[in-house]
Structure 1
């Protein structure tokens, strides 16, 4: 016991300074990394770097500095960096095989940043989810859905799947269909529908809205109503047009067919 006690005291005396030094480097290093990353983001912001790229590069810079700090702390504890590099290489191979999905997500994030199919603030549809891009991280992309739910999509599947960017062109066509009675006058109906579109200030004049007969259905003549709107006004135009069409058709005496319940007399 005396031998073990003496050995423990010897190790404690020899390694305590190294341990305290490594701990101090770790604490100061993490604080310095935080300041450096924050400062780099400010510089990128002043240089008008895209906000999407700011976040991605900031995260990447942070991970790289933390990896360098980790190696520095290990070396201060007395672990040879050459031996440690070999261990890291072997461990990296094993971890890489175990985390193929994560590496795929990292590569996907890099591809998104290179080819830029969308950016923060864009309204997109991908992986069955529609929403506004809130943040693009190294491994995942965060999307806010219309119901204000946060959807987190892995970058690997996102970069390899179909993406519809509703914001990219700046304008969207609103596709609506309205049915009227076969007794209604087609020209009058088209004039009423067009007047609804042109009287809405949020409906764009270029491209011009269109109204056309799209189908002669079983119980109605269907009209394809196609106004155009800025991306931000899409839902306003959609709902306002739907409401105003009903009001205008009623005012013009044009019937909108609907199923009638048939009363069976006994």
Structure 2
């Protein structure tokens, strides 16, 4: 075989390989678009059937990963690579990765349990794994939570599932807990009546159950009132801030004295009289 024949064989092989490479690239691009299009249709079909958004996202993620793995195997088969050997290699690699990254499989299993047991869904306001915010996505391995200060926080599913979960959106309403300090001289019955009347007028405060205003504690300044209106979770912060304003305005309109700590200091004096020093005179 001379160099001319070798060149012709090499050219034929390179041409064949180049055509396969171009075909593989086209197959990858077209298949990716078809997969994305199919997933969009599937998501739309789920929404028409009123399937829960949390379940939709989880199923779409699983199907997307599976189809892309099948696509890679198909492209390798297009190049003449033995796919059965590749599948065995992929399984062995999966076992090795699973052994090395056991936490990844734990997160996957926890994600499945979160979808099955449904302690929360997309759109719920929760506290989980020390993070408080609105759930935006429950993925295969992680859950996305958008905090009230608009920070997207990605939390591992296993960390959420193994910790306590507080779902503020599960019940139709929640309680706002605030405190109001009274002066010793203030009639607490009058203060409670005024606050109940004013708080009931705050927008989005529920009338049933009615707001709670009662004495919860005493300190050196006087009695402390527990002020507890109820509202829907969506209106929590609006009611929280408006209630604080109402406490301030109500006590101001009533002319209540400003609370102050009072205590006495006893000591010996030449004439035998123990002096009492008000807190306001102490430096």
Alignment partner, residue 84 of structure 1: 86
Alignment map for 1:150-169 (pairs within 5 Å):
150-169=152-171
Structure 1 residues 227-238: aligned runs within 5 Å: 227-238=229-240
RMSD over equivalenced CA pairs, Å: 2.2
Q: Distance in 1 between matches of 2:165 and 2:184?
A: 41
Task: Call closer, same or farther: CA 1:219–1:4 in 2, change over 3 Å.
Answer: farther
Choose from 7, 14, 17 the match for 1:15: 17
What residue ranges of structure 2 are gaps of 5+ in the alignment?
A: 262-278
In structure 1, the partner of 2:269 is none
Secondary structure of 1:93's counterpart equals helix
What residue is the counterpart of 1:128 in the other structure?
Answer: 130
Local SS of the residue matching 2:215: strand
Change (3 A) 1:247 1:43: same
Equivalents in 2 of 1:143, 1:117: separation in Å?
A: 14
Q: Is the 8 A contact 1:189 1:254 kept in 2?
A: no
With the length of structure 2 as denominator, give the TM-score of the two structures: 0.86
Please give the alpha-carbon distance, in whole angstroms, between the structure 2 residues aligned to 1:121 and 1:89.
Answer: 36
The 3 A distance-change label for structure 1 pair 261 and 181 is closer
Measured in 2, the distance between the counterparts of 1:15 and 1:193 equals 83
Asked whether the 8 Å contact 1:105–1:140 carries over to 2, the reply is: yes
The answer to which structure, 1 or 2, has the higher relative contact order (CA under 8 A, 6+ apart) is: 1
Aligned residue among 142, 150, 154 for 1:140: 142
Question: How many residue pairs were aligned?
Answer: 264
Compute the TM-score of the two structures, normalised by the length of structure 1: 0.91
Q: 1: CA distance between counterparts of 2:260 and 2:124?
A: 39
Q: Is contact 1:179-1:256 (8 Å) kept? A: no
Match of 1:26 among 17, 20, 28: 28
Equivalent position to 1:59, from 41, 58, 61:
61
CA distance in 1, matches of 2:82, 2:75: 11
Output the CA distance in 2 between the equivalents of 1:85 and 1:172: 53
Distance 1:9 1:258, change over 3 A: farther
Which range moved further: 65-74 or 22-31? 22-31
Contact 2:20/2:79 (8 A) holds in 1? yes
- Residues 208 and 228 in structure 1, CA contact (< 8 A), matched pair in contact too: yes
Give, in angstroms, the shift of residue 251 of structure 1.
1.0
Once the two structures are TM-superposed, the CA of residue 102 in structure 1 deviates from its matched residue by 2.1
Tell me, in whole angstroms, the C-alpha distance in 2 between the residues paired with 1:78 and 1:215.
Answer: 80
Q: CA deviation at 1:9?
A: 3.7
- Equivalent residue number for residue 103 of structure 1: 105
Structure 1 residue 21 displacement after superposition: 3.0
Matched, 1:244 2:243: no
Task: Summarize the alignment of residues 200-211 of structure 1 with structure 2, pairs less than 5 Å apart.
Answer: 200-211=202-213
